[in-house]
Structure 1
């Protein structure tokens, strides 16, 4: 058995072990559950208060509470 055959067997063996990787766009879209009340922009649920405050002050010259009244600072 030559090196080409060994390499092909290794590729076949590794192909069985790996899962098909798909796009994460759908799961990211589902996670966009923070929404600005003024411009209706959505943000990932992992977005922190400083980023939301920056959005509120830069885009709307308002506070975090005015743009995101339902947001709870954890």
Structure 2
């Protein structure tokens, strides 16, 4: 068994390996965000988070699709 700083370095390497293995199992926020994009514009197929409010959706419809109505972009469910 190493002594002194060699033992500390070995312990740190072991901790880092365990930490890396734990992080691989961790849940990715990016994957969660992609799964939460449940609102889709029917004209351009842009997806929006499920927490997006109606005023933001109306702004998208007005800015991106001037000739279309809000109901054309986001029909009622």
TM range (shorter): 0.5 to 0.7
Shift of 1:66: 1.6
Aligned-partner Cα distance in 1 for 2:36–2:76: 16
TM-score (normalizing by structure 1):
0.63
TM-score, normalised on structure 2? 0.61
Does residue 33 (structure 1) correspond to residue 38 (structure 2)? The answer is: yes
Rg (Cα) greater in structure = 2
Normalized per residue, the structure richer in helix is 2
What displacement does 1:22 show? 5.2
Q: Give 5+ residue unaligned stretches, structure 2.
A: 1-22
- Alignment length (residue pairs): 71
- In structure 2, what is the equivalent of residue 65 of structure 1? 71
Please identify runs of 4+ aligned residues in structure 1 that moved more than 2 A.
19-23
